[in-house]
Amino acid sequence: MDGSPTNDLARWLAPTDLRAAVVPAPLVGVVRAVAAARPQELSRNDAVPVTAADRQAAVLILIATDGADGPDVLLQQRAPKLRDHAGEVAFPGGAREDGDAGPPATAIREAAEETGVDPAAVEPLILLPRLHIPPSRFDVTGVLAHWRAPSPVSAIDPGETSRVMRIPFTALADPENRIMLSTRFGWHGPAFVLDRAVVWGYTGEILAALLRFGGWERPWIPSSPLDLDQAWRRAG
């Protein structure tokens, strides 16, 4: 084996040219900022991989702009009995499958399977840099997308997902919901405590970056870092 990707994986990794017909006004600044951002501006814990991992995944960062409270993002909480990432809050998404044309196809397919989101209502806007997540040994590509026509969503398989949430960026920006988190695994970064959940890791760092990029961030003074147990007690 020479370490080069298989033909199917190579096609999946090939650059994807996303040309959305219309970028909604509330997301123009976000898309421009993502396009110009260095990977370190998105995550200080997960680095750009030197070589492509065999384990590739994509997540859907799906933003709706129709809410009374402004833009919101679709998140899901994983079931408490899962072997990996039990109880964690994350963007919908999952592992690449043979036949997926690229990260957008993977992210949308997985999100539809997990939350029931209608793929026809999803408009991919831009890909985030591919980052390597050491605990899972996956490379993850974020697919920032506009939810053109939001419809009801729910946890399709309770064995995998306990609930699905639409979280307004105004709630994420509330200083009362923001913390710094340090874990015994060596992860340190921004996180959120809201809606009886702790949002951290890849998801927490990306959401913190999007708050900055979108101009939605409110002034806040980071407190002394909490550990995961303290954060979950605060979440209730």
Using CA atoms, how far apart are residues 180 and 182, in angstroms rounded to an integer? 7
Using CA atoms, how far apart are residues 170 and 72, in angstroms rounded to an integer? 8
Classify residue 179: in a domain, yes or no: no
Q: What CATH number is given to the structural domain containing 74?
A: 3.90.79.10
Classify residue 109: in a domain, yes or no: yes
Q: What integer best gives the mean pLDDT of the chain?
A: 92
Tokens 């605990």: give the residue.
Answer: 135
Q: Which residues make beta-bridge pairs with 142?
A: 59
Query: What's at 111, amino acid-wise?
Result: A
Number of domains in the chain: 1
Classify residue 176: in a domain, yes or no: no
More confident residue, 75 or 79: 75
Classify residue 13: in a domain, yes or no: yes
Q: Which residues make beta-bridge pairs with 129?
A: none
DSSP conformation class of 226: B
Q: Got the DSSP string for 180-200?
A: EEE-TTS-EEEEEEETTEEE-
The model's pTM is 0.94
Classify residue 219: in a domain, yes or no: no
Q: Can you give the residue range of the structural domain that contains 82?
A: 7-167
Classify residue 106: in a domain, yes or no: yes
What would the two tokens of residue 221 be?
A: 């003074």
Contact 168, 67 (CB under 8 A): yes
Classify residue 38: in a domain, yes or no: yes
The 10s digit of each residue's pLDDT in 189-217 is: 999 999 999 999 999 999 999 999 999 99
Classify residue 188: in a domain, yes or no: no
